[in-house]
Chain A
Amino acid sequence: MNWETVIGLEVHAELSTSSKIFCGCSTAFGGEPNTRVCPVCAGFPGTLPKLNRAVVEYAVLVGLALNCEITRQCKFDRKNYFYPDLPKAYQVSQLYAPICRNGRLDVRADGEEKSIGIREIHMEEDAGKLIHDARSGKTFMDFNRCGVPLIEIVTHPDLRTAAQVIAYLEKLRETLLYLGVCDCKMQEGSLRADVNLSVRQAGSPPGTRTEMKNLNSFRAIARAIDYETKRQTEILREGGSVLQETRRWDDEKGFSYGMRSKENAPDYRYFPEPDLLPVEIDDAWLNALEKRLPELAHQKRERYVKDCGVSEKEAVIITAHKNVSDLFETLSELSGSPVESAHLVTGEIMRLLNQNNILPEELSPDARGLAFLVRLVSEGKINRNAYKETVEAVFVRGADPEKYIAENNLMMLADDEEAAVAVAAAVAAVLAENPGAKADYRAGKEKAFGFLMGQVMKKLGGSGNPDTARKSLKAALGE
């Protein structure tokens, strides 16, 4: 029997506005408990919310990037539930007229292109944080996160495999980062995904689905999908039926468990939010926002290959993170050499990021210094070894490149008479010191040449011009 997994995703993204959705409190992550709180976000009676214009604009930008229809007349609704993370006892959200609908995001997974339908994007407020203290049996409430703006991006059940889910999430994250509307730090909860999953026999109507929560990394999501697919298939294969429920994933133990049934039958008693006026997005506003849409990663990839002569492989690495593509663009502009800049970013910079455990989002090198080096190496003024060494000094230790090159004598000797004499002297000395290698080469062992070349460059220090040295060595050996 052929089983098919059907998956839909609900992604919550915290918007990186400076202030909350309905009050002026700061949205910055962290902070002492209850220090970013006012009577509005703490739900004091008698207060009224006022909508942050930037939240509407960010939501529209995401909608445009995901090919959605923008709801010109949208409004908020009240979702009622009792839980202490929500001091008002309701969450302001959108049910009846979400701001964006009917979009799609094209992804590539398992070797094929797939278009994932976006059912809707709606705006809502985040809830606070609870700390349960087992010893005292009490719950401590921190309302700093209450009222931080969220958008929820809901797909149609178009996904079939964990690989497709990850590809979708990666592209969505990339898009949000390029739009600059969300910092997408899963470990801080600014990007969160809930997975709706059911299993059916190929061609049959959809089975009963479960919803999985508490997925804090792409890896956890992939594992949870595999686990849930196996669990449901097993049940159905034995003739049982899947219970519709919310399940919580425990990443440490590698399994999920059903949450209490009382929470599984919510009655949110939605009704139109009376404290907020409807939002009307007219043509002028929409056009202005369309103009604000930045170039997205896939558009950049195309341009780098077509206009800058960068290889496709390098373009993919560069655009995987906005900070990296920003660095590449700055380097290209300052150095005038996009191809050399691409080599640097995808080679040395990536190696140094890995080696020093730096995340791409923390990347903030001295771009001016690096661009200076790119220019030197493309003009043949320093050799590759000196270049790598100086890049590392600039990137890791914040060295001044000009000073570093001067102090370590790394500038390539100019092709003048003085340099020719120095090279000739080094070649003569190396050949005198290594008669064995010289004989080997003359006996036809090509490898010996590389060894001798290395010795000559070593003698010249970092400043040797490899071309001149090679010619000089060849000439000397040919005698």
Chain B
Amino acid sequence: MIIDGKLLEYLENLSCLTLSDGEKERLSADLGEILSFMERLGELDAAGVPERSHPFDDVNAFREDEAGGSFDRSLILRNAPEKNGEAFIAPKTVE
């Protein structure tokens, strides 16, 4: 599959990344190779294999509805790149 400039720009927007021209060139090639590799799956004869959405056969892994287990706020906020005493802080987002 060919990753052209238009598609790459679209992916850039979706992932909120800004790429330099050099990075764009390298990534186009890289992503193209990844997709070609994945396309090899299409060569597999999957006739007769039932469609499924999950690799495991199990179903219904539940927890009961009991409240508890919230973390201390200082612990939750500890890794945040920017925070105040009570909230995570991010750059301005559009409304």
Other A-B pairs beyond A23-B69, A131-B87, A143-B76, 7, CB < 8 Å: A19-B66, A32-B86, A34-B73, A39-B76, A139-B92, A141-B89, A142-B87
How close is A85's CB to chain B, nearest CB, in angstroms? 9
Q: Which of A47-55, A104-112, A307-315, A444-452 contacts B (4 or more CB under 8 A)?
A: A47-55
Report yes or no: A278 in contact with B59, Cβ–Cβ below 8 A. yes
Q: B37 interface residue, CB < 8 Å from A? A: no
In angstroms, Cα B14 to Cα A27, docked, is 31
Closest chain B CB from A232 CB (angstroms): 24
The complex places the Cα of A262 from the Cα of B87 at a distance, in Å, of 27
Which A residues, 13 to 62, have Cβ-Cβ distances below 8 Å to chain B?
17-19, 23-27, 32-39, 42, 50-56
Stretch at the interface among B19-27, B28-36, B40-48, B50-58: B50-58
User: Which of B16, B63, B82 contacts A50, CB < 8 Å?
Assistant: B63
In the complex, A437 has a CB within 8 A of chain B: no
Residues 54-86 (chain B) with a chain A CB within 8 angstroms? 54-56, 58-71, 73, 76-77, 82, 84, 86
Task: Provide the bound-state CA to CA distance between A167 and B60, in Å.
Answer: 37
Q: What is the bound-complex CA distance between A61 and B90, given in angstroms?
A: 39
Is A397 in contact with chain B by the CB < 8 A criterion? Answer: no
- Chain B contacts of A454 at CB under 8 A? none
Which of B16, B73, B93 has a CB less than 8 Å from the CB of A132?
B93
A25 pairs with B70, CB closer than 8 A: yes
Cβ B89 vs Cβ A139 within 8 A? yes
Is there contact, CB below 8 Å, between B53 and A25? no
Instruction: List A residues 82-136 near B (Cβ within 8 Å).
Output: 82-84, 87, 96, 130-132
By secondary structure, the A interface counts as loop
Query: B13: which A residues are within 8 A, CB to CB?
Result: 262
Chain A hits for B89, CB < 8 A: 138-141
Chain A residues packing against B (C-beta within 8 Å): 17-19, 23-27, 32-39, 42, 50-56, 73, 75, 82-84, 87, 96, 130-132, 137-143, 260, 262-263, 267, 269, 272, 274, 276-280
- Assembly CA distance A414 to B90 (angstroms): 76
A37 x B71 contact (CB < 8 A): yes
Which range holds the interface residue count of chain B?
A: 35 or more
Could you jot down 17 A-B contacts, CB within 8 Å? Answer: A24-B63, A25-B70, A32-B86, A33-B73, A33-B86, A37-B70, A51-B63, A53-B62, A53-B63, A54-B64, A73-B59, A75-B54, A138-B89, A262-B94, A277-B54, A277-B58, A280-B60
Q: How far is the CB of B65 from chain A (nearest CB, A)?
A: 4
Contact A17 B65 (CB under 8 A): yes
Which residues of A are found within 8 Å of B71, using beta-carbon distances? 37-39
Answer whether A38 and B62 are a contact pair too, CB < 8 Å, given A132-B93, A140-B84: no
A277-B56, A280-B59 given as contacts; is B95 within 8 A of A26 (CB)?
A: no
Chain B residues near A37: list those with CB within 8 A. 70-71, 73, 76
From A19, A50, A73, contact of B67 by CB (8 A): A19
A280 to B94, CA, bound (A): 40
9 A-B pairs with the lowest CB-CB distances in the bound complex, closest first: A24-B69, A54-B65, A53-B62, A272-B53, A280-B59, A141-B88, A140-B87, A26-B67, A19-B67
A18 to B64, CA, bound (A): 10
Instruction: Give A138 to B95 CA distance when docked, in angstroms.
Output: 12
B70 to chain A, nearest CB (A): 5
Given B15, B54, B67, B87, which contacts A278 in the complex, CB threshold below 8 Å? Answer: B54
Q: What is the distance, in angstroms, from A282's C-beta to the closest C-beta of chain B?
A: 9
A297 CB to closest chain B CB, in angstroms? Answer: 25
Q: How far is the CB of A229 from chain B (nearest CB, A)?
A: 25
Complex contact B69–A140 (CB within 8 A): no
Bound Cα distance from A131 to B93, whole angstroms: 10
Verify A35–B91 contact, CB threshold 8 A: no
Q: Is the CB of B93 within 8 A of A52?
A: no
Q: Considering the chains assembled together, what is the distance between the CA atoms of A15 and B40 in angstroms?
A: 44
Please name all residues of chain A whose beta carbon is closer than 8 Å to the beta carbon of B88 when the two chains form the complex: 34, 84, 87, 140-141, 143
Chain B residues near A73: list those with CB within 8 A.
59
Q: Are B76 and A24 in contact (CB under 8 A)?
A: no
Residues in chain A near residue B64, CB distance under 8 A:
52-54
Alpha-carbon gap, A142 to B90, bound state (A): 11
**Residue on B nearest A129 in the bound complex, by CB:** B87
Chain A residue with Cβ nearest B77: A34
What residues on B are CB-neighbors of A262 within 8 Å? 13, 94
